[in-house]
Amino acid sequence: MVSVDEYAQWRGISVQRVRELLRSGELQGHRVGARQWEVDEVAFRSRPRLGPPMSPPMAWALIAILGGDEQRPDVSRVRLDRLLKNRERIVAAGSDAPAILASWLRHRGERLTYRADARDLPDLLTDARVMPSGVSDARSGISAGDVAEVWLRTFSQLDELIGDYLLLPDEKGNVVVHRGGLHKEALAPLGLVIADLADWNGPREDGRVIDLVASVQ
């Protein structure tokens, strides 16, 4: 078990906010005595889900808007207004913004983790079949030379990539491969970088999510 204070410090949120999440059931924990709580050890490294997931089309539309693209001809005016309000909510959410994004955008694609020879990571990041994103995008401001995070540019290339780089499934691996959508450009949209950083559930990545969201305003 982890104390409320420890969890609040890890997540960068107030003790009061942690207690609210525990009382609502969004965060797993147990009451100790009449007024004290403890957070389950598993939840210490997990993130509470702050809202239902968006459909893939809506998730990708919000990703575009997060990056500053407010002209969405593929989205109705009503839905666009809703998405703009969602962005406002994210901006106003402060330290909760990464958890909200991770909840809303988790159906944008698959997130797969593998282990590769560290010497192959530079070649993987420059492979024409992938698009670096998240911690591997320079705009993240995170130096992560020991990790490669990429999106497949077409859905069907995963088996080829696994064979060429001898990728082995590993939940704690050094390669994160996202799969979903068709990506014609070599540079990831800024909104996608933000969404991918939110999935890491770490203090550095969360801080950059908040900074990047604010920088687009």
pLDDT tens readout for residues 103-145: 999 999 999 999 999 999 999 999 999 999 999 999 999 877 8
**DSSP character for 170?**
-
User: Is 146 in contact with 119 (CB distance < 8 Å)?
Assistant: no
**pLDDT value at residue 210:** 93
CB contact set of 54 (below 8 Å; sequence gap of 6+): 62, 104, 105, 107
Amino acid at 58: M
Q: Which residues, 6+ apart, have CB-to-CB distance to 192 below 8 Å?
A: 63, 67, 133, 151
Q: What is the percent of the chain where pLDDT is above 90?
A: 52
- Looking at residue 187, its amino acid is L
Overall average pLDDT of the 11-33 stretch: 78
Q: Which helix (H) or strand (E) holds 149?
A: strand 148-152
The whole-number average pLDDT for the span 65-81 is 79
DSSP β-bridge partners for residue 152: 130
Q: How many whole angstroms separate alpha carbon 139 and alpha carbon 137?
A: 5
The stretches of the chain forming alpha helices (DSSP H) are: 4-11, 15-24, 41-44, 56-66, 77-92, 97-104, 121-125, 158-165, 190-198, 203-216
| pLDDT interval class at 49 (50, 70, 90) | low
Q: What is the dihedral of CA 105, 199, 217, 208, to 10 degrees?
A: 180
Q: How high does pLDDT run on average in the chain?
A: 87
Q: Which pLDDT value is given to residue 60?
A: 93
Between 79 and 44, whose confidence is greater?
79
State the Cα–Cα distance between residues 37 and 19, nearest whole angstrom. 7
The rounded distance, in Å, linking the Cα atoms of 155 and 192 is: 17
The whole-angstrom separation of Cα 169 and Cα 114 is 4
Ramachandran angles phi, psi of 161, nearest 5°: -65, -40
Dihedral of the CA atoms 178, 189, 97, 179 (nearest 10)? -10
Query: For the residues 90-100, what does the mean pLDDT come to?
Result: 90
Taken as a whole, the chain contains a residue count of 217
Predicted model pTM: 0.77
pLDDT bin (cut points 50, 70, 90) of residue 68 is confident
Q: What is the DSSP letter of 180?
A: -
